[in-house]
Structure formats: C-alpha cells, structure tokens
Chains A and B, each alone.
Chain A
Amino acid sequence: MPYLGSEDVVKELKKALCNPHIQADRLRYRNVIQRVIRHMTQGLDMSGVFMEMVKASATVDIVQKKLVYLYMCTYAPLKPDLALLAINTLCKDCSDPNPMVRGLALRSMCSLRMPGVQEYIQQPILNGLRDKASYVRRVAVLGCAKMHNLHRDSEVDGALVNELYSLLRDQDPIVVVNCLRSLEEILRQEGGVVINKPIAHHLLNRMPKLDQWGQAEVLNFLLRYEPRSEEELFDILNLLDSFLKSSSPGVVMGATKLFLILAKKFPHVQTDVLVQVKGPLLAACSSESRELCFAALCHVRQILHSLPGHFSSHYKKFFCSYSEPHYIKLQKVEVLCELVNDENVQQVLEELRGYCTDVSADFAQAAIFAIGGIARTYTDQCVQILTELLGLRQEHITTVVVQTFRDLVWLCPQCTEAVCQALPGCEENIQDSEGKQALIWLLGVHGERIPNAPYVLEDFVENVKSETFPAVTMELLTALLRLFLSRPAECQDTLGRLLHYCIEEEKNMAVRDRGLFYYRLLLAGIDEVKRILCSPKSDPSLGLLEDQAERPVNSWASDFNTLVPVYGKARWATISKYQGAERRGPELPDTASFATSGPLIPEENKERVQELPDSGALVLVPNCQLTAEYFEKTWFSLKVAHQQVFPWRGAVHPDTLQMALQVVNIQTIAMSRAGAHPWKAYLSAQDDTGCLFLTELLLESENSEMQISVKQNEPRTETLNSFISVLETVFGTIGDIKS
C-alpha cells in the first residue's frame, strides 16, 4: 500500500531529485518526476518535494515541463510562498521561441490559483493576447477569465475587456469562442458579454468554421441577440438552417433552442423547426451512446407536451431493446404513452403488454402504469389487457394493476363495471401497502357491485393485528364503513370488530382517532354518516381534460437543451431550490437577473387569475338526468342565451363525444347517428345552484364548424361563460385525439 510508507517515499524521491547523477541523465530524471506524479495521482501528499520540483522545471524537455507544471498547479494553493519561486521560470518560458512552451507556461501560470499571483501574470497574459501563435492566444484569452476569477471583487479592467472584444475578429476560430467565454466570465456581474448587431453578424458568418463545441457555444450566446426587424430574423434563420441537421447532437439541440427562442412570436415557424429536427432527434434517440440517447428522449418528451402527435408515426423507434439500460427503457415507455393515437394504439399496447412481464419488476410496473395512462383515452382495450395481467397471479404485477384500476375508476367512471368484475381473487396476490390500500379503496367505494367484497374485507380485518402499515388500517376503516352503508347486513359484525380493535388495541394514534371518529359518527345516526361520507366529491376529470391541453412551446423553449428536461421539471425544481438557498448566502442577488425575471411572474399570475374564477364558480352536478320530454319542453320555452361556432374537422364520433361530455358531467339527451347530415346533438347539464344548461350542437355537412346554441333557465352570464369554456375544452380535446 502506498499510503503506509508515504514519508519514506517522499524522502526517497527527494533524495533522487537532488542527486546530481540523476539530474544529469534526462531520462532518469524524468522517470523520477513521473513517479512523483504517479504518487500524487494516487492521492499521496507529495507537497514535500515542492522545492526540488521547482528546480526541475528549468529544462528543455517539454514532457518534464508539463509534469512539473501539473504538479505545481496541484500544490500551489498549499505552498504559495514556494510557488512564487517558480514564477520566474514560468515567466521566462512565456517568451520561449516555441509556441507550445509559451502556451503551456501561460496556461499553468494562470491556473496556479493562489493569492498574489495576479500581479505576475498580468503582463504575460497581455503579451499572450498579441502572440502570433493562435495556440498562445487561445490560452491567453482564457487566462483573462482565470485572472478575473482569482479576484472576483476587483474592478473590471476596461482595457482588457476592450482587447477581448477586438479579439472576436481573430483568425483562429477557437480564439473567437474563447473570447466569448472569457468575456462572459469577466462581465458576469454586468450580465455577461454584449452581443450587439455587428458582433452577432460576425459570429453568424464564422459559424461554419467552428468546431462542434464552438458552434454550440456561439448558438447559445446568440440567444442574447434580438434581431431588429423581422427580415433580419428570417435572414438569421436562413443562415443557421443547416445547423439543425448537424451531425453533432449538441449543435442540433443548440440550434433548435435558438430557433425556438428567435421565433417566439411565430408559432408556425416553431412548429416547422420541430418538424425539421425530428429526423436528427430520432437519430439521437437510437444513438449508440446511451447517455446522448437518454438526453434526446427527455427532449422528445418535452416536445410531445406541446405537439402530442409529433412523433406518432415513428412510434416503433421507441420500442425497447433487451439490452438497453433501465433509464432509457423507462423514458421510452413514457414517450410511447404520450404519442399514442388511433392508428398505433393497437401496436403500442401490444408492445407494452410484452414489457409487463419483464424480469425487472420496476420496468414491468412502469409499463403497467403506462397502460393505465393510455387507458384514460382508450379505456376498453387497456382494461382488458390489465385484467389479463391479473391472471398471471404475480405479486408485483397485481399490486400495480390494482393501483392503476383505482386511478382509472376515479377518472373514467365508465369502466367501473369491467374493473369490478376483474377484482375478485386479487387479494391473494397483494402484499404491499400501496396495493392493499388501492384494493381496499375499490372494495369500499364500489363494493355493492362486487359480490364477495364484504368477505374480502373481513379477511383483512381478521389479519389486522399483524398489519404493519397504519395507512392500510385507516383505508380499511373507511372502506368498511362505506360498504356498511350499502350492504349493512354483511358488514355490521365485521365493522364492529374492527372498530373495537382500533379503539381498544391499536397503538397508532392516527388510526385510533379515525376509529373513534367513525364510532362517534355512527352514534349520530346513519343519515348523518351518509351525509358526511357520501357527500359530493371534487371532480378530478375536469383537471384531466385541462392537463391534456397543449402547453405552448414558449413555456419550455428557454429550458430546452439545459439540464431541466433531463432531470425532469419537478426534480429540477427541488434541486434548484436547494441550490438557490445555498447560493444566497455569500453572493448578493444579481440585479440583472432580477430585471429579466421581473416581468415573467406577473404574466403567469395573470393567467392564473383568469383561470381561477372559471373553475371556481361552476360546479356541474353529476347524474342530472332529464327526461327527453322535459328537455323538449324546457328547450322550447327558453331563449338562446349564447351562440358560438367552434372549428371542427372531419366526422363526429358520437361515442367519443358522449364519453368526453360525460366526464365533465354533461349528459347527452339525443344525438344523430355518426355520419348523418346535418348532424345534431342535444345536451343538458346542471350546476350546484340548480341552474340548467341546455345545448344544441349542429354540424352542417359542408361547414367545418360546429355551431352550438346554449340556453339557460336562469340568466347568469358568468356561469354561462364558464360552461362555454368547459364545452370548448371538451371539443379541443377531442379534436386533439382525432388529429
């Protein structure tokens, strides 16, 4: 172990380095130095030979120089006084005839990271900026940033900044890019490098000459530039067009972002850009490098949020291959879930079903959840697949399927019947807390349709003493009480036993309190229990429809090609919150960033303010069943309160429409059959104040518009407007699914 004899090693090396015989033999000398570096790499403290190493820097051997300088950069912060001795040699090397040596010395000198070095490096850097070798200029330009970094609070040197701005015209492409990087670092307090029109145009013209790193960098800096006119903007887009198809994924992403930001006022251009980069993105998604593939998949998901149908025809590209790592498979499943449409739903579900029986439990469960996601739109097919999966009697599958069912029944009530039929027998294959809770909830809420529900719950009650999860016991209490309301005879005894256990024996206070609460509630009489337990619930389905609405491209364009989509927005928020809290300590808030983020917040708020009254004021009651006669009578007795046309394409699928309307608690009274001309439908809905909304839909065959007429039995404009917007959401959503 090298760690043990550390002091001996240092002593021995010190001796060797001082040995004049070794110093005379260059090869041996270098070998000793290599040993020093090797030990340093292994983590040994080699600072003891600093003095000897400084001496070794005076050599013509470039490799030896590199090694010694590397050593110095590592230990200079530990031995600042000794490091100053090396400055002399370094300064001399900065005027060596060989540009390699000049560059190396300058780079090392700027990387010394110790106090007081600034005064020595200033002149060599200035000389380096005017060096005839581009290699030295590259180093010198970044050296300016390093120098500034050593003394962050020192005044920005105006002359130096000017010099760097003028070096943007340098012949060497890397010098140009380094200038931008350096200026950005130096001028960070003032908001970074200024990209004005001449600079922007100059950079645009240099783009083809840069390597991929430079191109990506410049594309990023160009985000700052705001073209003066539309013409200029489109000229820039034309110039940069070819970079959308670059062979480097980093450049493609960078160019995409720039296009999206520049064209922020032209949504159709943004869409066109995304169409253009489809090919390169897909290629990146099947890239050999898994990490690039992962990053691309994350961005594909981002795009899908705004353009749901964008990758639908390429769904096969997102099928998982056996040997792919987990994180790619999970992303692909998510993508598949999002790009599903009428044409590919069969194949996608088939493929996902294959994943559900994967050996990796995590992956299998992700696939099942994905099917659950698709089930919100294609309920019947998915419920069937999920039911079949229950037949496998695998623990990790059953529990996830039941959880999926729970969410599904909540969101798509029309599948309740099928789910209830599938449930019996599941209880044998569920062991974990989440699965048990889901099953118990389902049994409690829909127990009247499941014949053996009380007996399954009874089994749970019998084993309640050995139950380790309090959440399961709580769920059990609620479920049993609910079931007791619909099937009292079968549940009374069990409920009594459970309540007794919870109040007398249970140690967990939350469970105990819940038990006591229900007990006292029961004392208040059964009607009271019903009133409390079965009072109307919040309706999640409206939220579902709103969720599906497309997010505008501009909402994520500025995050594109950063770490945000790769982490996922939610995770990024927690990470950056943590980072923000840490950063706020030493540094003062940056005024520039305040100025930029200022106008964003009110804008967001404005949207929220507009939305809130909509969803807050109108609550449509479920199960408002009007008879056709009553509807007809009311319809003719009222005047049309509102008339509007919605854009509509193609034929109507009455089932889809009816389902979607049902989700938002709008009942269909009558409807023409599919394909009829003109096509008509009558709808009714009622809000919690008893106000009726009667609606007629009319689709003339030659028009691409749906005409709606709404009548209201109490004239109140604000609820009417909310109702119209609900209808709008529904039509918008159906339109999406179709297209």
Chain B
Amino acid sequence: MDGWSGDSSHQHSWVQRESEAGQRSPPKLRPAAVFASANRAAHLEASPLRRTHLGSHLRAGASAGRRKRRRRRLPALPPRLPGPPAATMSASAVFILDVKGKPLISRNYKGDVAMSEIENFMPLLMQREEEGALAPLLSHGRVHFLWIKHSNLYLVATTLKNANASLVYSFLYKTVEGEDQRGPKRVYYSNVFSEYFKELEEESIRDNFVIVYELLDELMDFGFPQTTDSKILQEYITQQGNKLETGKSRVPPTVTNAVSWRSEGIKYKKNEVFIDVIESVNLLVNANGSVLLSEIVGTIKLKVFLSGMPELRLGLNDRVLFELTGLSGSKNKSVELEDVKFHQCVRLSRFDNDRTISFIPPDGDFELMSYRLSTQVKPLIWIESVIEKFSHSRVEIMVKAKGQFKKQSVANGVEISVPVPSDADSPRFKTSVGSAKYVPEKNVVIWSIKSFPGGKEYLMRAHFGLPSVEKEEVEGRPPIGVKFEIPYFTVSGIQVRYMKIIEKSGYQALPWVRYITQSGDYQLRTS
C-alpha cells in the first residue's frame, strides 16, 4: 500500500499533510475522513440532491452570467478561471479502411475536416513505416489521425483537437475488438459489431454496411461517444426484415432509464447467472531459462439472465476481507488481489467500506472485475528445448514439456509452437504423446496435446532439412509459445464463496460457477 495510509485498512483519504520545514513528514490519516463517513463530504454528496435548493443555485449562477453578457457581450464576462481548454475526445469523422487504405465506410460527424483528408492517411502511414517511425498517431496539416488495425482493416478517427488519446483508442477498440482473444478458446467475445456479425473484416463490412451505418450513427453524435453498451444498442438497431411487417418498432425501454447499463422490464423464464473465473498466465522466460516475467491476470465474467432489476452480491475469499472480519484463521484459504478493477455497476463505496461487491448487473455478458497477481508462481508448463542448426543440411529440434501443476488437474488443448527457419523443408516428427504439425506459413511446428495431466513430462523431436544454398537475410529468434487451458483450477486459489441475488419479485435464481486457468502471453525465448 501507499505510504500515507500506513494502517492496515484499505480505506484512505486525501488530506493535507502538515509539512515541517523542508522535511517530508510521514502522512497522517485524518480520522474518519473517508468520504462516505465524513460529515462535510456527506454534505457535499447530499446537497445537490436536494433539487430545489441546488436548482436555484444553478440557475442563479448561470443566468446571472448570461444577463450581464446580453448587455455588453465581451468584456462583461464573469471572471474566468485560468483553466486549460477542455480537450476531450471529439472525433471529426470515423473511417473504416481496407488494407490498401480505400474507405469501406465512413461517417462524417462534425464536418470540420474534409472527408478527402483520409486520402493522406495511407501515404503517410507508408512513409512513416519506411522511416521506422510508425506510431498509432499520425498528423497531416492540422488533422490528427488516430488509428488501430483490426485483422485486415484500419479504423481511423480524425480530429482537430488535442484530444485524449487513450479515450479515442478505447472507443475504436470498443467497436471492434473482442475482449478475450488470447486463450485457446474465445471465452467471450463481446463488442459492438460482433453482436451482428461474427468476424469484423472487409467482407462482413461490405455485406452489412446498413448495420454498420446504423451503429456508427448510434455510437457517436457530433463526434462524441454516446451509447456503446452493446446490449442497449441492440434496442436501437432494428435490423431484420421481419420487424417491417409490424409497421411500428418497439419503443426501447432505455429511453427513460436512470441506470445507463441496464434496461427495465427484462424478463426471463429461467433466472440464471453464470460466473466464469478466468486467470490468464503471462510468462516470459529468457533463453537461459530464467523467468523474466510471470504474472496472473484474473477476470471474473458474468453471463446474466435475470428478470427485473436484481441486486447481486458476490463473496470471494479475499484476504483483506478476512482480516477485516477477523476470519483469517488457518482454515480459510484466502488470496490477496492486487490492482482490482470493477465494472462501473459495482458500488465502489461499499467495496471500500466492507469489501462487499454489490451491484445491479447489465443484461447478458460483461466483465465484472479484473485483478492482478504478481506473486511468482512456478511456470505451469515448463519447456526445455534444444534447437540445433547445422547450416546447409538440417535442423534438429528437441522439446521437453513438463506439467508443473497439481496431479489431479489436466491441461486441455495444449499447443506448443516451436519456431523453425523459414527455408526448412521435409519435416519429420516423433512425439511421445500428441501430434506435431508443420505450419510453413507461420514458420513453426505446432505440437498439440489434447490432455496433459499435471506432473507428466513429454518429449517431441523434429527434424528438418535445410537447402544447401543459404538465404541472404538474417532471421529473428522467435520465442516458443504455449497455449493451454486448465479447467477447475485457479493459480491464485480464488473462490466464489457465495452469490446472492435479490429482486423485489422474489424469484429464485441459480448461480453457476466455473474456474479456468489459461495461457496468456506465454513465451519462452530461444537462443
């Protein structure tokens, strides 16, 4: 924890420290000054809710300024605070380009940048690439291009403002990129476009341009992001011909909603919640076998099929909670989570107070929370490799894989990809288990093992011929990559202890939980 709230409590507050002459004193925690409990803070929170009171203030402040302004326009301004100009995100236009830079679809939101500016994008990109100075941010004249690449498409936002870069990228990603593409299976795939067509690529854009236009229209207005929640967007998009016959479309319930992420009047016959606890292991091992980086990124994803406005409470074996409640006995296994982030539906003030995770969930799929664990764990699948290259004749590869997890657990769908030189030919393999396949377009051998129990050790040998004439260009040293999935197991030992579902109609709902550990960015460098 940080220095200025030295006590074990996770709550803290920002207070002014008394600073002694020139010396940095240890921070002092103002007693009971956490915002939920402090009187003044509570007052701050409460006052605007008294609508009449606040309303008069708001109106008075604003109209007083205006009245003056109407009389003499410029000089009679209320004293301006020397604040910086608001430079938020505001996209002039959004383009989807094919791989050659030709616009497939575009939406001009503001009209302050000529749509022909996009013609400068591709030449600029090529030029930068040649200079070795390519970056996801390019500028031409006064126009900034912020772009991302997705499969064979470029998504480009143009803007004139000194905008908030990470927000623009988040927005572009929100529209196209799936949330979980790393694991062997895509556990969830939720983004705006994917609700309507499977893969976002050139073909699907051409086939679905009407929907893309509709979506672009709802996602942004005047260059400002509006609704990006895919569930709620679905209510605005009337895509199928069958709706045509009815003549009138359904009135979307969200039009009168206070909670932006959930509509009222949702109904399910069977009320269920599916909880997925997914931990991805990121690993980077040096060529000499020393672990450079090992971290676990955990996410808890929910698939919610619940009627009405349910109130959910999730209990985890969180160490901090156990310490708070004095439960930290030897019986209870608990885990310490770092860098915990929640979906905006979670009431953070309650989490800060008593570590309860309570929320009204959005409908359908969403990521409830994510966390990190940087405690060093033994690499789950350890690889030892010998790649011997005899110039002009052959390459011999020996790979040993060892499951370093509990014997009861089994890793499924293990894929170990071993790099081979691009000019290798006539592959021959021998494996103690599973099968090996040469994938020439990626210059790798993929050794797949359907099920890999913990504690076991397997071996693969591969032999490749090399042409007698050596290639001119030098090749890099790609790492060995491993993909796997271990069900019913989490590295951190996190557990869902309970999930309470309360709705005013009082229905019974079933929560389902499953645990998966999977490979994230799992790489072992080769020498």
Taking Cβ atoms with an 8 Å cutoff, the residues of A that contact B are 26-27, 30, 34, 37-38, 41, 43, 60-63, 66-67, 70, 74, 98-100, 107, 113, 132-136, 138-139, 142, 145-146, 149, 156, 158, 161-162, 165-166, 168-169, 171-174, 177-178, 181, 184, 190-199, 201-202, 204-205, 208-213, 216-217, 220-221, 223-226, 230-232, 234-235, 237-239, 241-242, 245-250, 253-254, 261, 266, 268-269, 272, 275-276, 279-280, 283-284, 286, 288-292, 294-296, 316-317, 319, 321-323, 325-327, 351, 354, 358-360, 362, 558, 561-564, 566-567, 575, 578-579, 582-583, 591-593, 595-596, 599
Contact = CB atoms under 8 A, between A and B. Distances in A.
B169 interface: yes
A100 B224 contact: no
Most chain-A Cβ atoms within 10 A of its Cβ — which of B17, B88, B170, B171?
A: B88
Contacts of B181: 288
Interface in B239-260: 239, 241, 243-244, 247-249, 251-252, 254-260
A70 B58 contact: no
A388 B148 CA distance: 39
A599 B247 CA distance: 63
Contacts of A286: 282, 521
B420 to A, nearest CB: 15
14 contacts: A30-B244, A133-B255, A161-B66, A169-B54, A172-B257, A178-B224, A181-B88, A192-B85, A211-B227, A247-B342, A250-B89, A250-B167, A286-B521, A292-B166
A209 B342 CA distance: 14
Contacts of B469: none
Nearest to B214: A66
A26 B244 CA distance: 8
B406 to A, nearest CB: 27
A35 to B, nearest CB: 11
B512 interface: no
A211 B221 contact: no
Nearest to A198: B57
Most chain-A Cβ atoms within 10 A of its Cβ — which of B4, B55, B85, B164?
A: B164
A676 B388 CA distance: 55
A62 B284 contact: no
Contact of B344 (A169, A211, A319): A211
Contacts of A323: 478
A203 to B, nearest CB: 9
B269 interface: no
Contact of A245 (B137, B239, B339): B339
A275 B2 contact: yes
A140 to B, nearest CB: 11
Nearest 10 pairs of A and B residues by beta carbon: A250-B167, A224-B83, A237-B14, A165-B62, A247-B341, A362-B132, A198-B57, A213-B225, A133-B255, A359-B476
Most chain-A Cβ atoms within 10 A of its Cβ — which of B45, B58, B86, B252?
A: B86
Interface string B166-208: 1101111100010001100000000000000000000000000
Nearest to A252: B166
Contacts of A295: 136, 165-166, 169
A220 B136 contact: no
Contacts, number: 370
B92 to A, nearest CB: 12
Contacts of B171: 213
B40 A231 contact: yes
A551 to B, nearest CB: 18
B117 interface: no
A399 B225 CA distance: 49
B210 interface: yes
Interface stretch (B73-81, B327-335, B395-403, B453-461): B73-81
B166 A284 contact: yes
Contacts of A230: 16
Interface residues of B, number: 145
Contacts of B88: 181, 216-217, 220-221
Interface stretch (B139-147, B377-385, B424-432): B139-147
A198 B61 contact: yes
A162 B338 CA distance: 46
B89 A216 contact: yes
Contact of A172 (B63, B243, B258, B348): B258
Given A27-B241, A136-B255, A268-B19, 18 more contacts: A107-B221, A149-B110, A158-B67, A162-B66, A171-B258, A191-B77, A211-B344, A220-B164, A226-B83, A238-B38, A239-B45, A242-B348, A291-B146, A321-B523, A563-B163, A578-B141, A583-B142, A596-B83
Most chain-A Cβ atoms within 10 A of its Cβ — which of B24, B214, B473?
A: B214
B416 to A, nearest CB: 16
A63 B342 CA distance: 36
A209 B78 contact: no
Contacts of B162: 562-564
Given A158-B66, A291-B148, A575-B139, A113 B111 contact: yes
Contacts of A149: 110-111
A220 B238 contact: no
A546 B89 CA distance: 36
Contact of A169 (B3, B58, B78, B182): B58
Given A190-B69, A231-B40, A292-B169, A165 B2 contact: no
Nearest to A289: B173
Contacts of B347: 208
B86 A224 contact: yes
A563 B133 CA distance: 16
A191 B82 CA distance: 10
Nearest to B261: A211
B423 interface: no
Contact of A294 (B69, B135, B248): B135
A30 B48 CA distance: 49
Interface string B247-291: 111011011111111000000000000000000001010010000
A100 B164 contact: no
Nearest to B173: A289
Interface in B1-59: 2-4, 12-17, 19, 24, 27, 33-35, 38, 40-41, 44-45, 47-49, 51, 54-55, 57-59
A225 B83 contact: yes
B65 A194 contact: yes
B407 interface: no
A522 to B, nearest CB: 42
Given A246-B341, A575-B139, A67 B292 contact: no
Contact of A196 (B48, B61, B339): B61
B475 interface: yes
B479 interface: yes
Contacts of A284: 166
Contact of B209 (A38, A232, A279): A38
B142 A60 contact: no
Contacts of A213: 89, 167, 171, 224-226, 228
Contacts of A191: 77, 80
A279 B282 CA distance: 16
A32 B32 CA distance: 68
Contact of A562 (B111, B164, B352): B164
Contact of A60 (B248, B292, B348, B349): B248
B166 A296 contact: yes
Given A174-B227, A202-B48, A292-B170, A70 B61 contact: no
B370 interface: yes
B40 A223 contact: no
B86 A192 contact: yes
A322 B478 CA distance: 6
Given A99-B255, A205-B49, A359-B474, A145 B222 contact: yes
B59 A165 contact: yes
Interface string B314-339: 00000000000000000000000011
Given A162-B66, A292-B166, A327-B134, A268 B17 contact: yes
Most chain-A Cβ atoms within 10 A of its Cβ — which of B148, B239, B249?
A: B249
B383 to A, nearest CB: 15
Contacts of A184: 86
